[in-house]
Amino acid sequence: MPSLLLDEARARFDLLTVTAYDVTLDLREEHAFDSRTVIDLVSRGGSTFLDLKATALRSIRLDGTELPVAAWADGRYPLDLPAGDHRLEVEAVMGYRHDGEGLHRATDPADGRAYVYQMSFMSAAPSVFACFDQPDLKAPYTLHVAAPTDWIVAANGVGTEVEPGRWEFAQTQPLSTYFVTVVGGPYHHLADEHDGIPLRLLCRSSMAAALDADADQLFTTTRQCFDRFHELFGIRYPFGKYDQAFVPDFNALAMENPGCVTFREGLLFTTKVPRAQRLQRVTTIAHEMAHQWFGNLVSPKWWDDLWLNEAFAEYMGNRVAAEATEFSEALVWAVTTRKNWGLTADARPSTHPVAGNGAQDADAALQDFDGISYAKGHAVLTQLADRIGDDVFFGGVRDHFERHRFGNATMRDLFDAWERAGAGELESWTAAWLRTAGLDRIDLVRPDGDRGAELVLTPPAGGSAGREHAFGVARWDGAAWQVSDVRVDGERTPVEADATSPTVLDAKATAWADLTLDEVTAAALPAVMAGTTDPLLRATIWTTVRNGAQHARLDPDHAVEILAAGVPDEQHDFALGMLGGWTGDDGEGTHNSVHQKLLPRVADPDSARSRLFAAYAARAESAPPGSELQLAAAQAAVLCAPQPEPLRALLEGAWLPGLEVDSGLRWRALKRLTSLGATDRDELDKALAEENDAKTQLAHAWCRARLPEAEAKAWAWQRFTGEAKATNYEIEAVGTGMWQSGRDDLLAPYVERYFAELPGTTAVREGWVLADAAIFFFPMTATSPDTLRRTEALLEEPELNASLRRVLLDAGDELRCRLACRDRYWR
């Protein structure tokens, strides 16, 4: 089906005003659902099309006149609309989806009960109801739902069960199509109220205990964030009630649907977790709440301004979490866990400007929904807020909200509001930081002869040195770090540094640049990490170590030395979690980091793994028994355990005093045992039988794909090609489980098959999961020039899908980075 073009959206906006949607859904059948849509609109006279991704179109009427069903094709229905008021009525049969988009239906393995939720972002709304699917054709919605009588149904508006199984929802404020949602199933739910806003939490019934246990913290966080947002914005939350639903198989971390925010179910904790995961949940709650104003009250006119939604919510979410909740370390967490995501994306060949990407269609815009939009956007908005001050920053934001209330706006509209509020001229700053892609590189050059120490700035290829950087420089004086401020606005900038003292750039974690540890600092850092206590400086060191090793500018053995020295004194569990994911098993991670690993870059991974395991184990042993810090260190240690013995001791409860070995930690150990070849299918099946739920099923699938058996790899590959059905989460688990270094005898045939069969996956999946499958099944463990050549050859294919092209572009760059590291440092 064609993706909506920008020119098509502009023409449709000029032609139409949509005044109301009335949608009726019948969710009582298991395999498909009936959808009836009534659209009231005003036309200025002309031809256009309606978006409809149905399994069958039963009827379509315009002003009471039947139109030919046969005209519907490729997800569109052509319309000729004379000037004036019109009513469209569409009756269709829709298919439930199992990829986290559209109306997703999942069956809980714990009790066999079914749950649905609607994810309309970014072009999935037409697979639920007929619509004009673009962000600037906002309209109010009225929803009617028929559902099984044991279901709870929630949506954007206030709902009432008028009779068993029949739900009526109040008309909403004007919404973009991508915000419309319905959540249905035998959901467990809890209610509260704050400042006149009805609050509710929902989760599937089998997770009720987890929701009940955390309800007080969730409601408290919500109240605190609402109060702070009301204070900062001066405008009350505009969408009435506020539901927060934790739903299965969710692709994103959360989605800001007005009145009914949906969250990834993993944010409810059924096992013990480090504080870091609660902190992530709090920042996510605050992030989605910020969207209720920026994104929902005022929405982007087109997808190329979507970055501003996310950058603003990232900035406000982290800031409000730090200011209003118990998680005052939220900004340190963001630097430690999020910044490298954006730095890596900004260094890739696929880098793009933060703003003004000129996305010509929705599919192209989706490719730029990445660490640049989030993490770099957050960083530059932080710079701007510091530059113009809170009074001007929030004065402009309030003006923007009032001028475009329940409407759409552009980046230019917001920057005009800031300039009216007193920010001064922002065009030069915007050009340098928002419209120029890539990273400036800043290197420390030590004193040499008569020449003093300097910072040398190298702009990105094709760029210019037009950015100004202000940050702290930390120099170790033999007993402590001494920090001085520096401003870099040209090619060379003098700096206080001598020939031998360790010196770290960006001591306060405020810079956005490609920074690398020079050889003097890299060699000296292991000896001074124990005396490095400032959390922002430590966060910068961890980020700079990762960035340098990633791009073959820091010897990976030096990275191991620094980690081995610094981990035993680390005070933040989120830093241990980040480092554990980076140094752990090379097939495990999220879509943002699954391929960005340290061990494939070192010449002797077994030796490095042993040293890292010892460091994490030492931190786990020194942490208070039963503490979150102990748990985070133990989790990291498990990921890089070099031998089965400590894992077996953990499973027997004999490794660390106070460490609770619950399902989460047990399956983490089983996954590592699988990688070590120290378990088998029988043990895994028995473990699953003891606790069979959604999370353990995914862990079991990962392990099954990881088993060193030809049958296991063939089983995994069937899920890649679509020969065997798999949900979006199963694809992630199986893809990341399948590939493992050192198993070329089993995996070599699948390298060739990946490149031959990847283009055909567009026939079996679309949207987010199309790209995710390509990422998770990419043969990154086959790190060789041949794999790189195959990647580059497929990129030459002109008909390659845009989502797949982006995956291959980034994967090819990662391969080059790994190969460059080997060429430079392996001796």
Residues identified as active-site = 288
Q: Which residues of 467-505 are buried (b: 16+ CB within 10 A; e: fewer)?
A: bebebbbbbbeeeebeeeebebeeeebebebeeebbbbb
Q: Give the other-Cβ count within 10 Å of 369's Cβ.
A: 17
Q: Which two tokens stand for residue 694?
A: 């959604």
The residues, any chain, with a CB within 8 Å of residue 728's CB and separated by 6 or more, are 98, 99, 100, 249, 251, 768, 769, 772
Q: Give the other-Cβ count within 10 Å of 84's Cβ.
A: 11
Ordered DSSP codes for 545-584 = HHHHHHTTSS-HHHHHHHHHHHGGG---HHHHHHHHHHHS
∠ CA 391-397-305, rounded to 5°: 140
Distance (Å, whole) CA 124 – CA 271 = 33
3-state secondary structure of 79: strand
Which candidate, 728, 810, 39, 27, places its Cα nearest to that of 367?
Answer: 810
Q: Are 228 and 222 within 8 A, CB to CB?
A: no
What is the DSSP secondary structure assignment for residue 760, as one 8-state letter?
G
Q: Are 175 and 134 within 8 A, CB to CB?
A: no
Q: Which two tokens stand for residue 268?
A: 């409810």
Residue 349 burial (C-beta neighbours within 10 Å; 0-12, 13-18, 19+) = exposed
Strands 16-26 and 32-43: antiparallel
Strands 407-409 and 298-300: parallel
581 to each of 23, 279, 363, 459, 656, how far by Cα in Å?
Answer: 44, 17, 30, 31, 21
Strands 298-300 and 454-458: unpaired
Distance (Å, whole) CA 429 – CA 434 = 8
Sheet holding 242-247, edge to edge: 187-194, 197-204, 242-247, 260-264, 254-255
